[in-house]
Amino acid sequence: MGNPNVGKSVIFGWLTGRYVTVSNYPGTTVEVAQGALPDGTPVIDTPGTNSLTSRSDDERVTADVLLKYRGDVRAVIQVADAKNLQRALLLTVQLAELGLPLVLNLNMLDEAEANGIHIEAQQLAARLGIEVVPTVATQGKGMERLLAAVEQARPANVVPMYEPSLETAIERVSTLLPHDADYPRGLALRLLSRRPRLERTGDRAPDDRW
């Protein structure tokens, strides 16, 4: 997953080769591509998104896919434009809040360097507590290392703290979730952001438990 126009499709194509299917996500006209790693592990290429709390169809589908498969995710590869790291890190924080195993891929590194941007990838990895892998996907640079990083994927250790009133609300909502809910803090935040597809109603939501 990642922001729009960061090279996700190139990364996805490199990881999955030619065995790819594309279909519309249920109830939308948004296309989602699916393939597999060489060992058969399924890979999903979600639509580009700038936030997990947005309400556009593309961004809603990305969030729904993450939540639907959150208990079975081996790794989320967040593809970032190395020239626009600040924009990418908003998504990184939101993924950290969901507790998903994460690899941050700094793609288009050649363009960043051409613009005089140098990123200390090792320092960023230490601060986030996850694997950070620079790549130039169009040239195949860093791709083997990216694939290897999937095996080391783990949740980021950066969890932002909000103002006291919001932290209190997060704690209260978390206590109302099922005891076996995965990543209650992240789910509570999404409920507080008024995501209608996660709100409990008389009918069951698309996710098995929401």
Residue 50, classified by CB atoms within 10 Å of its CB into exposed (0-12), middle (13-18) or buried (19+), is middle
The C-alpha angle with vertex 195 and arms to 60 and 65, in degrees rounded to 5, equals: 35
Distances (CA, A) of 3 to 7, 78, 158, 180: 9, 9, 20, 31
Whether residue 67 contacts residue 207, with contact meaning beta carbons closer than 8 Å, is answered with: yes
Kindly compute the dihedral angle of the four CA atoms of residues 90, 95, 98, 101, in this order, to the nearest 10 degrees.
Answer: -160
Query: 179-198: per-residue pLDDT in tens?
Result: 666 677 777 777 777 654 54
Query: 105-114: per-residue pLDDT in tens?
Result: 999 999 999 9
Q: What are phi and psi of 42, to 5 degrees?
A: -65, 145
- Which sequence spans correspond to the domains of the chain? 8-150, 164-198
Q: Into which CATH architecture does domain 8-150 fall?
A: 3-Layer(aba) Sandwich (3.40)
Categorise residue 120: left if φ over 0, alpha if ψ from -120 to 50, beta otherwise. Answer: beta
Distances (CA, A) of 151 to 96, 148, 159: 18, 6, 22
Q: Which amino acid is at 75?
A: A
pLDDT tens per residue, the chain (210 residues)? 999 999 998 999 999 986 688 888 888 888 899 999 888 889 999 999 988 876 788 888 888 888 788 778 899 999 999 999 999 998 998 888 888 899 999 999 999 999 999 999 999 999 999 999 999 999 999 999 999 999 999 999 887 777 888 878 878 887 887 766 667 777 777 777 765 454 443 333 334 333
